[in-house]
Structure 1
Amino acid sequence: MRIDVEDLHIAYDGRTVVAGAHLIATEGEITGLVGPNGSGKSSLLRTVYRHLKPAAGRVLLDGTDLRELSPVQAARRVAALPQERGGDFELTVREVVAMGRTPYKRAFAGEDATDRDVVAKALADAGMADHTGRRFTELSGGERQRVLLARAFAQQTDVLVLDEPTNHLDIRHQVELLALLRAQSRTTLVSLHDLNAAASVCDRLHVLHEGSVVASGPPREVLVPALLAEVFGVHAAVVEHPLTGDPLIAFDHRAPADGPVLPRSGPTAAQVGS
C-alpha cells in the first residue's frame, strides 16, 4: 500500500507547524522522516495515523483519502507506534499484543482460532514468544518496544507508522528493533533522530526543516555535507560504512557548522609524546 501526503498543512493554536508538505512512502519500503526537533515530524505522522486532523491537504492510501475511511477501516490499514504510549499496561505480554486484533472483533466477542494464530505469529516475529505470561510493567524498555511492535504486527495492516521507536533504547535494542523493521514487507513510515540509523534502515528519506520537506530521495543522495550543515547545523563527512556499505556520517564534534572549530581539551599530541 502506497502513502501519498499532498500539500499538508498542520497548525496548533493558530501556529503553523507543517506547511505544504508533499511526500511519498512506496509500497513495501521503509521511508524515513528526519529533521531537527520541532521540524514537524511527529505532527505529520499523527495525521497519517489519524490522531491529528490537518488544517489543509490530505493523506492518501492507494489513492483513497484517509479521512473517508471509518475508524475500523483505518485501523485495518494503518498500525501506529507513537511516542505517547498511554501509560503502563497492567496486562500480560500476550494480552497487550492481542489488543491488536480489536479492529477485527465484534463487541464482546472472544478470540477465535485466527486471532490466536495471528497473535502467536506476531509474538514470534517480535522475539517475545517466550515471554507471553510476563507483565508488561515488568519489562525493560527494549522488551516493551518489542511488545508494542508485536501488537502493531497483530493488526495485520499494510502500513506501519512509527514515531522515533528507538528513543531511550540502548544500542543493542536499537539494532534489534531496526532489524525487525527490515524483516517486514509492510509499507513503513518512521521518524528517526539517529541519522546513521536512518541511512542504514531506510530505502528513502524525507528531510523536514521548519515545517517543510526540504529534501527527498535515497539516503546516499539526501544525506550530504551541505544539507547536514544547512538543516542540522553540523560539520560532517559522509563515508561508506565498512560493514554494510551504507552512508556513514562522521560528525565533527568540535564545532557547529556556523561556528569556529574549537581545539580539543586535554594534552596536545606533542605533550603526550614528551
Structure 2
Amino acid sequence: MRIDIEDLYVAYAGRTVVAGAHLIAAEGEITGLVGPNGSGKSTLLRTVYRHLRPSAGRVLLAGTDLRELTPVRSARHVAALPQERGSDFELTVREVVAMGRTPYKRAFEGEGAADREVVARALADVGMEAQAGRRFTDLSGGERQRVLLARAFAQDTDVLVLDEPTNHLDVRHQVELLALLRARRRTVLMSLHDLNAAASVCDRLHVLHAGAVVASGRPREVLTPELMAEVFGVRAALVDHPLTGDPLIAFDHREPAAATPLPGAARR
C-alpha cells in the first residue's frame, strides 16, 4: 500500500511542528525520513499511525484518508514502532508480541493456531524466540526494542511506520534488522539518525528541516555535500562503500561546516 502525505501541517503546544509537508512512501519500498533533531520527523510519523491529528492536510493510505478508517481497520493496515518505548509491561516477551494480533480479535476471543504461528515467526525474525518466557521489564534496552519490533511484525500489516527502529541496537542487530526490512518488501516509512544506514537501506529519502521537506529523492541524489552542510551543519563527502557500492558519507569530525542558508524552495 502506498502512503501519500499532502500539504501536512501539525501543531501542538501553540507551535507548528510540521509545515506543508508533501511526500510519498511507495508500495513495497523503504522510505526514510532524515533530518536534525527537532526537524519534525517523529511528529510526522505520529500522524501516520494516528497518534496525532493534523491541523491541515491529509495522510492517504492507498488513496483513502486515514481519518475515514476506523481504528481497527487502520491497525490492520498500519503497524507502528513509536519512539516512546513502553517499559512498564508486566507481561512476558511472548505476551507483548501477541498484542500485535489484537486488531484481528473480537472481544474476549482467544488465541488460535494461526496467531501462535505469526507470533513465533515474529520472535524468530528478531532473534528473541529463546527469551519468550522472560518478563519484558527484565530486558535490556536493545532487547526491548527487538520485542517491540516483533510486536509490529506480528500485526502483519501492509505498512510499517518505524521511528528510529535501530535505536539501542548493537551493530549486528542493526544490520540484521535492516536486512530483514529489505527482504520483507512491505511499505516502510521510517526515521533514521544514522545517515549511512539510511543511504544503504532506503529506496527514497525525504529530508526534513524546521518542519519542512527540503529535499526528496534517491539517497545518492539527496545526500550531497552541499545539503549536509546546509541542513546538518557538517562537512562531508559522498563516496562509494568499499563492500557494497552503496553511497557512503564520510564526515569531517574535526570541524563543522560554515553556516549556509537553506534555499527558499524545497528540492525535488
Same structural fold, with TM-score higher than 0.5 when normalized by the shorter chain: yes
Counterpart for residue 222 of structure 1: 222
Judging changes above 3 Å, is the alpha-carbon distance between structure 1 residues 42 and 211 closer, same or farther for their aligned structure 2 residues?
same
Counterpart CA distance in 1 for 2:67 and 2:92 is: 33
Partner of 1:192: 192
For residue 152 of structure 1, what is the aligned residue in structure 2?
152
Percent identical across equivalent pairs?
83
**Compared with structure 1, are the counterparts of its residues 252 and 170 closer, same or farther at alpha carbon in structure 2 (3 Å cutoff)?**
same
Distance 1:258 1:88 in 2: 44
Q: Pairwise mapping of residues 113-124 of structure 1 onto structure 2 (< 5 A)? A: 113-124=113-124
User: What's the CA shift for 1:169?
Assistant: 2.7
Query: Residues 14-63 of structure 1: CA distance to partner in whole angstroms, max 9, x if unpaired?
Result: 21111110000011111000000111000000000000000000000000
Aligned partners of 2:195 and 2:249 also within 8 Å: yes
The separation in 1 between residues aligned to 2:87 and 2:51, in whole angstroms, is: 17
Distance in 1 (CA, whole Å) between partners of 2:158 and 2:209 is 28
Which deviates the most, 168-177 or 190-199? 168-177
Deviation of 1:85 after TM superposition, in Å, equals 1.7
2:87–2:136 contact (8 Å) kept in structure 1: no
Q: Retained in 1: the 8 A contact 2:239–2:250?
A: yes
Residue 130 of structure 2 is aligned to residue 130 of structure 1: yes
Q: Which moved more, 1:175-184 or 1:66-75?
A: 175-184
Tell me how far apart the structure 1 counterparts of residues 116 and 62 of structure 2 sit (CA, whole Å). Answer: 29
Structure-1 residue corresponding to 2:17: 17
Structure-2 residue corresponding to 1:252: 252
- Which residue does 1:270 correspond to in 2? none
Deviation by residue 1:116-170 (Cα, 9 ceiling, x = unmatched): 1211221222222222112212222222222111111111110000111222333
SS at match of 2:89: coil
Structural mapping, 1:107-118, within 5 Å: 107-118=107-118
Uncovered stretches (5+) of structure 2, i.e. residues with no partner: 260-268
Q: What SS does the aligned partner of 1:249 have?
A: strand
Letter of the aligned partner of 1:78 in structure 2? V
- Which residue of 2 is the match for residue 241 of structure 1? 241
Larger radius of gyration: 1
State the distance in 2 between where 1:104 and 1:63 align: 23
Q: Counterpart in 1 of 2:168?
A: 168
Which residue of 2 is the match for residue 201 of structure 1?
201
Question: In the TM superposition, what whole-angstrom CA distance separates every residue of 1:196-233 from its partner, at most 9, and x where no partner exists?
Answer: 01001111100001110010011011001001011111
Aligned length: 259
RMSD: 1.2
TM-score of the superposed pair, with normalisation by structure 2:
0.93
**Equivalent residue number for residue 73 of structure 1:** 73
- Would you say 1:56 and 2:51 are equivalent positions? no
Structure 2: how far apart are the matches of 1:101 and 1:134?
A: 20
Would you say 1:98 and 2:90 are equivalent positions? no
Gaps of at least 5 residues in structure 1 are 260-274
Runs of 4+ residues deviating >6 angstroms: none
**1:82 matched to which residue of 2?**
82
Partners of 2:180 and 2:81 in 1: how far apart? 14
Change (3 A) 1:222 1:43: same
Task: In structure 2, give the amino acid aligned to 1:173.
Answer: H
The code of the aligned residue for 2:50 comes to R
